[in-house]
Structure formats: C-alpha cells, structure tokens
C-alpha cells in the first residue's frame, strides 16, 4: 500500500481500481473547498484561487491559479492502471493507493499533514477512525522553504518506527533540498521533483 499524501484524487478510470480507502485531513473548511473540515472523502474538489479571492478576503495574497489536481497526477505516476489504452502507465501497477488529502486552496497545515502521516502508517489519530489499510510507503510530493521542525521530525520518526518509509519531493525549485521541509528532515527518502 502506498499513501499519496497530497490534494486528494479525482475520479479517473486509471485510478478507480487502485484507490483503497483514504481520508480528508484538512481541518479548515475554506481551505478544504468542500464545505467541511476533516471527513472520510479524500476526493479533490479543486484548489483554484480566483483574482477576486486573491485581492481580498480570506485568500488575499494567494497566487491566482487554476486547480492543480496534483494528487491525481502523483497517484497516476505511482500506480495508474497499465495496458488499458487510456491515460498513463504508473510505475507500480500492483500496489493499492491510499488517498490522503492534506493540501487545499492556497495553504496547508503542518498538524494536518503530520496527523495524516501517522494515520496513513496505521497509527491512531484523535477524532479520526483508524485506518484499515496502513501504508508501508508514504509519498509526500510537497514541501516549503523552512527548516525541519520538531513537529515534522517527530512524525517522521514515529512513522519510521512502525516500519513505514517516507518518500518526499526533493523539490522543483532549483534549490538545495536541505533548505526545504520535509526534504531536510532525517529519515526520509528524496524522490526528486514531481
């Protein structure tokens, strides 16, 4: 089982038989863009930001953008069905994919991501049902230009201690990965860009 800890997933023929459960860990309903906070639906409703949202209100200052559908892209790269004449071919066509939503409109929360990591590895998280499909590999194609905090390192240490591997993006910023988190944390494997 591979956990894709990202924006969630869109319904897609290449992923339909591969997604084996998941959870939406975004606490803030505005960031989640789905009308609620944490819930059992990891589908991606989009993370767009309009020019009106960027100019004032809660999302003021956020870059104007279309939805990235990033979690679907990453899930497809990891495990899209192959030889079906559609979409792309994933690098692993046998592992199940656990869709874990932590990224929404304009931002994410460290506590949401680290709770999601623990849950994905099969550990208990307060207020969230236990994960019946623990993942051995946690993929986090995300990060930011900050040093690894004790919160991040604690989550990685805990996940590693139960036998799960944390694979992270080394970044797409043409910058030393040592200046990004979670790439700068100990106990992770760098995957390159996404």
128 in Cβ contact with 38 (< 8 Å): yes
Q: With cut-offs at 50, 70 and 90, classify the pLDDT of residue 190.
A: confident
Mean pLDDT over 7-22 rounds to 96
152 in Cβ contact with 115 (< 8 Å): no
If DSSP codes are grouped into helix, strand and coil, which group holds residue 189?
Answer: strand
Q: With cut-offs at 50, 70 and 90, classify the pLDDT of residue 172.
A: low
If DSSP codes are grouped into helix, strand and coil, which group holds residue 171?
Answer: coil
Q: With cut-offs at 50, 70 and 90, classify the pLDDT of residue 170.
A: confident
- DSSP letters of 91-151? S-SSS-EEEEE---SS---HHHHHHHHHHHTT--BTTBPPPSS--SEEEE---BSSPPPHH
CB count within 10 Å of CB 120 equals 33
Q: With cut-offs at 50, 70 and 90, classify the pLDDT of residue 153.
A: very high
**Bond preceding residue 182 cis, omega within 30 of 0:** yes
Top pLDDT among 96 and 180 is at 96
Top pLDDT among 51 and 144 is at 51
Q: With cut-offs at 50, 70 and 90, classify the pLDDT of residue 191.
A: confident
Q: With cut-offs at 50, 70 and 90, classify the pLDDT of residue 171.
A: low
Strands 137-140 and 2-6: parallel
In terms of CATH architecture, what is 2-190? Answer: 3-Layer(aba) Sandwich (3.40)
104 in Cβ contact with 42 (< 8 Å): no
Mean pLDDT over 51-68 rounds to 97
Tell me how far apart the alpha carbons of residues 68 and 103 are, in angstroms, rounded to a whole number.
Answer: 10
Tell me how far apart the alpha carbons of residues 69 and 11 are, in angstroms, rounded to a whole number.
Answer: 11
Going by the DSSP 8-state scheme, the letter that residue 62 receives in this structure is P
Burial 135-145 (b: 16+ CB within 10 A, else e): bebbbbbbbee
Query: In whole numbers, what is the pLDDT of the chain averaged over residues?
Result: 94
Confidence at residue 152, expressed as pLDDT on a 0 to 100 scale? 97
- Give the containing element (helix H, strand E) for 2: strand 2-6
174 has pLDDT over 80: no
Confidence at residue 93, expressed as pLDDT on a 0 to 100 scale? 80
194 has pLDDT over 60: no
Burial 100-117 (b: 16+ CB within 10 A, else e): bbbbbbbebbbebbbbbb
């Amino acid at each position: 089982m591979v956990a894709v800890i990202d924006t969630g997933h869109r319904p897609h023929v290449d992923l339909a038989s591969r997604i084996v459960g998941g959870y939406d860990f975004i606490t803030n309903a505005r960031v989640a863009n789905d009308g609620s906070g944490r819930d059992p639906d990891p589908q991606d409703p989009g993370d767009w930001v309009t020019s009106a949202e960027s100019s004032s209100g809660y999302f003021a200052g956020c870059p104007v953008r279309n939805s990235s559908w990033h979690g679907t892209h990453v899930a497809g790269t990891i495990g899209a069905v192959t030889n079906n004449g559609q979409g792309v071919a994933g690098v692993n066509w046998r592992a199940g994919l656990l869709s874990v939503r932590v990224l929404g409109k304009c931002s994410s929360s460290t506590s949401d991501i680290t709770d999601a990591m623990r849950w994905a590895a099969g550990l208990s998280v307060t207020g969230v049902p236990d994960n019946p499909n623990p993942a051995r590999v946690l993929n986090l194609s995300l990060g930011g230009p900050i040093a690894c905090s004790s919160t991040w390192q604690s989550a990685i240490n805990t996940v590693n201690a139960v036998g799960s591997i944390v694979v992270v993006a080394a970044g797409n910023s043409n910058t030393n990965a040592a200046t990004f988190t979670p790439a700068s944390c100990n106990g992770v494997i760098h995957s390159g860009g996404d």
